[in-house]
Structure 1
Amino acid sequence: MTNLAIYETTPSGLKQQVIPGVEPLPTPQARPGLDDLLARMEKTYNPFDLIETSNRADTTKYTYRRSLEKFYAWGGRLSNAHSLTEYAQTLSNSNKLIFRSAVAAWSGSIILKMQTGADVDNVQYITAAKERFEAVNQALKTKPTTGEKSHSWLSENQVHELLTGCDISTLTGRRDRLVLAIGLSCGLRRAEMAALTWAAIVNKPAGLTFNVLGKGDKSRPVPVSAYLVGLLSDWEQAVGRTGQILRSVDKGGNLGASITGAAIAVIVGRHGKRIGLPTLAAHDMRRSFAQRLYTTTKDIFLVQRMLGHASAETTQRYLDLETLDDRAAIDHLWNGALSE
């Protein structure tokens, strides 16, 4: 493994510091800046390779690659904060969000590699690099504009409409109801739903549980509700108990071997339109699950485990927890006053 040599001017002369895994710089006459370090990191760690080898869905990898290809065609450099922010100004909010995520995927990998070799001598460079990327990340944040989709949190009535409005006289309708029920009662991501197999159902003393394989190939147990157990039993009688649980169904009613995350998005969107929510997405079901679970339990760590988040801080941002708690407090205040 090659190393990147960084030199700092000290009273006794030039002092060498090392970042592991990067092509070394020649001995300088003056201390190189952070820009030099990041430029070397970009050259050594190809962003396309890092994204391709990451634990992300294939559709996500493709989207990130296309976003970065357009950025490089524009003449940008990931190691140049000015070019990142300047390019972002040319993008729509939706494309800026994708670009920001692609940049974060690369910078997160870079920071992790740098931290692996952290010591008392080079920690200042690592800290500076983190602050640089955090500043860029803030600069790339999108601002909501009129007419753009906002996240939806489903009411109890809307959940009821979704689940009871499927035409269960058809195989497609029964499949769709199961897709919606898994999303609403388990809070799984699209890719996690598509990957579920019958073998992932574990019978525990407390009841059935899905063994869900999430991001980073990390598995987590997700309890299966009594309502969902009934739907799974009905579906098993129709399709058997081997392979993927969720399957494609063609116009002739013929069953396929599997289903894609994109197909799940189409299913959710179709039924969202049916109940007057034309922009409903699978992630809205996941958010609604998380919100209802937190409102019921007030246990942020339970919600974190069920969603498969790496940290409770991520879950707090995901729930918009401050707003949620404020709303609960106001509701409690007025409910008490009106009941007197």
Structure 2
Amino acid sequence: MTAAALAGWGGASSGWWQHAGGGYGWVGPLFWPFAYNDLYDYTIWGDGLGFWGYGYPDIYAGMFGPYGYDRLSAYLPQRPQGRRQARSAPLDQLCGSDRREITGLPIDQIAAAVQPTEAQGASLDALGNASIQAAAIIRASCPTQVAATAPGRLAAMQQRIEAMEKAVELVQPALDTFYGALTDEQKARFNALAEDQRRAAASNNAGGSLVQNCGAPGGLDWPAAEIDARLHPSETQRAALQVLQDTSARVKDALKAACQPGDVMTPPARMAAVRKRLDVMLDGVKSVRAALEDFYANLTDEQKAQFEAIGPRRTS
């Protein structure tokens, strides 16, 4: 999946929308490319760098596009013209078009660690089945068309996060049931799966703490002067723009305040933290999207084109 998702995505290694530690907010038109891996890496292994790297900067990137049309063209349907088409990463490959790439939680490793009884094994099988269904739900949220406007990008973000929430809703009760059936000794062995990664992360402090990673977006000042210079908004448009800016600021503060992954130690507790974070992310995207759509509806076609031009210039 990694190769397909990143193919043809020139310049992604240095974009301002790239996350600390080499993760990506966007790959082409796809938001949160490794969503399911990030969910279970944190839940099982305690590796939260991928998951907790998502926050307000990604909403900002949704508004002020992280890609221009020249880069989006790699993902658009090609018209046959009697010659070989350029091979890049079509939309159906961004999330893995081969179903063999859909994998669930590392059930074998969990079983080896806890040595479940027959009854516990049935609960573990149920958890494994739920996790495979959850992975399929997230894969199905892969975009089927390119979003070329800011409202469209936020709509794509909302759809992706909603799919992640549905995935968590499937896996969380199965995980709680399995974990609740374990003895204290088995729980300790399950919890220990994450201890080595946690100690390693603490020793080298790669990318800073998780709290700093998701709680302190920097360098994303609201481009008020550029919007004003490009759009020359009317009084009505300026009022809607102010609502959008104020809404974005509130969402930024809410996501920063909700960034508290550091003290969560058990897999069920980490999954509960995931769900809470996704709730805040989804609320934020919905709020900003509503304000953005109100503002956008007041713009002329020329003003919309000027607004969309802010992002690609910013990423050059």
Larger helix percent: 2
Return the TM-score normalized by structure 1.
0.26
Q: Which has the higher contact order (CA 8 A, sep 6+)?
A: 2
Larger strand percent: 1
Return the TM-score normalized by structure 2.
0.28
